[in-house]
């Protein structure tokens, strides 16, 4: 990836891998759009003793996000497992460190979306997605859901919502991302990438 190519930051936390799998599907959708790339990043876990030190590079998966990854992105796809109907603490912990970007308006007019994974079908996918959207609105981002023209929204028997992609992982976290859930992840990635290219041009005054 070159330093000058615009990118969508796909920032996620995942403990057992479901949200990480969704992140890769969104990235595939993003990478299918000309003129923009996907940058996958994660956050370290947090603990109640709180200052436990994580290795600088995670053992597997995406590397840890830095503030500059967020500052310089053209769009943000934010992914979290559902934790009691809300986003996971490690992601919120990172977002709580972004005041300098808020003060400088670094994310204003940039598009964003959210995605989540749950163990149970009615276990809070929508509430998680809607609450993940709140800090993004404070940052001035333009939130993009999934329109019903994506027909998988009507046929899914698992995850998939107009508020963002979602996945039903099952009580043992052993249910793979299914065909409809995957289609919605890819569609959401594509939509975000197209919006990123268009809003980039708008901010640069070329459209």
CA–chain centroid gap for 109, Å, is 17
Q: Where are the beta strands (DSSP E) in 30-148?
A: 37-42, 63-64, 75-81, 111-118, 142-143
| Under rule CB under 6 A, residue 47 binds ligand FMN | no
Site residues for ligand FMN, window 113-152 (CB under 6 A)? 117-120, 123-124
* 45/140 with CB nearer ligand FMN: 45
Q: How far is the CB of 79 from ligand FMN (least distance, A)?
A: 8
**Helix, strand, coil percent content, the chain, rounded in steps of 5:** 35, 20, 45
Q: Report which of 73, 49, 61 is spatially closest to residue 1, judged by C-alpha positions.
A: 73
| Under rule CB under 6 A, residue 166 binds ligand FMN | no
Q: How far is the CB of 206 from ligand FMN (least distance, A)?
A: 38
* 83/110 with CB nearer ligand FMN: 83
Q: Are 33 and 193 contacting, i.e. CB atoms less than 8 angstroms apart?
A: yes
* 21/150 with CB nearer ligand FMN: 21
Provide the binding-site residues for ligand FMN, judged by CB under 6 A. 14-20, 81-85, 117-120, 123-124, 169, 173
């Amino acid at each position: 990836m070159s330093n000058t190519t615009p990118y969508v930051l796909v920032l996620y936390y995942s403990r057992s891998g479901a949200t990480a799998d969704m992140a890769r599907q969104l990235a595939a959708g993003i990478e299918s759009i000309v003129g923009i790339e996907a940058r996958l990043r994660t956050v370290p876990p947090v603990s109640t003793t709180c200052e436990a030190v994580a290795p600088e590079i995670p053992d597997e998966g995406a590397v840890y996000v830095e503030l500059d990854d967020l500052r310089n992105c053209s769009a943000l796809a934010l992914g979290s497992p559902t934790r009691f109907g809300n986003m996971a603490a490690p992601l919120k912990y990172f977002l709580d460190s972004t005041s300098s970007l808020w003060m400088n308006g670094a994310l204003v007019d940039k598009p964003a979306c959210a995605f989540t994974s749950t163990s149970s079908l009615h276990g809070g996918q929508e509430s998680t997605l809607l609450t993940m959207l709140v800090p993004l609105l404070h940052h001035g981002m333009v939130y993009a859901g999934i329109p019903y023209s994506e027909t998988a929204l009507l046929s899914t028997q698992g995850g998939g919502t107009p508020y963002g992609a979602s996945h039903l992982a099952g009580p043992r976290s052993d249910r793979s991302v299914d065909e409809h859930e995957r289609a919605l992840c890819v569609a959401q990635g594509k939509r975000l990438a197209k919006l990123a290219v268009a809003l980039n041009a708008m901010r640069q005054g070329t459209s």
